[in-house]
Amino acid sequence: MAVYPNDDVSRLCRLIHPSNEPCYVEVRRWPHARESQCFVNVRERVDLEGGKIQYGWALWQPSGAFLAAEHHAVYEPQSGPPWVDITPRKSVAIRILFLPDEGAVYKNKLVDNKRLPLVDDGRVREFIRLNGEYIGVENSIRGASHLTLSAPEQLEQRSGEIKRRIDLLKVELDEAYPLPYLGPNDPCFCGSLKRYEKCRHGQQ
């Protein structure tokens, strides 16, 4: 679900980069882009057309229990800003809220989402902890693959165990803290900045 600037979003942004402000970035999918491969997509477009890569965090709300910031990259054309999000996703968002962060350079490793709990619930803290552990294990497996080594079986098993626990917790959290109900005058979840009843998604 798209997020809009508010006190909670500002708190999350300050935790990540105290001096930068989030901004809206229009989604314009590049025909050659692969789904969810933002770092590869932007680098390839820069190589083909010039411009540069802008690192940062895509802000969104996957649950009523927390906000999330996903490590992300957008494209800056040769002519300069505005930036464009060229990477296809499963969501219907037409713009994203993006926090630029020059220090968030992609180093061929998975980076866990930054999360801000919205409720005081131990399951949320456990969900966040497990995701961090999962990313660490997955990076260890990828490191072994990069060195053409077989990942130790215990690492593969541990990854599967953690993922199952994460999935179960996510179901629990979604049931306990569903995403906020959208009233007709609320901003649409697609990021269009239109009221839900005036956006095409509220008219379907």
Per-residue pLDDT of the chain (204 residues; tens, 9 = 90+): 667 779 999 999 999 999 999 999 999 999 999 999 999 999 999 999 999 999 999 999 999 999 999 999 999 999 999 999 999 887 777 899 999 999 999 999 999 999 999 999 999 999 999 999 999 999 998 876 554 555 578 889 999 999 999 999 999 999 999 987 656 655 665 555 565 555 654 444
Residue 56: how many other CB atoms lie within 10 Å:
25
Peptide bond preceding 22 in cis form (omega within 30 of 0): no
pTM of the predicted protein model: 0.85
b/e string for 135-156 if b means 16 or more Cβ within 10 A?
bebbeebeeeeeeeeebeeeee
Cβ distance 197 to 203 under 8 Å?
Answer: yes
Between helix 122-146 and helix 153-176 the angle, nearest 10°, is 150
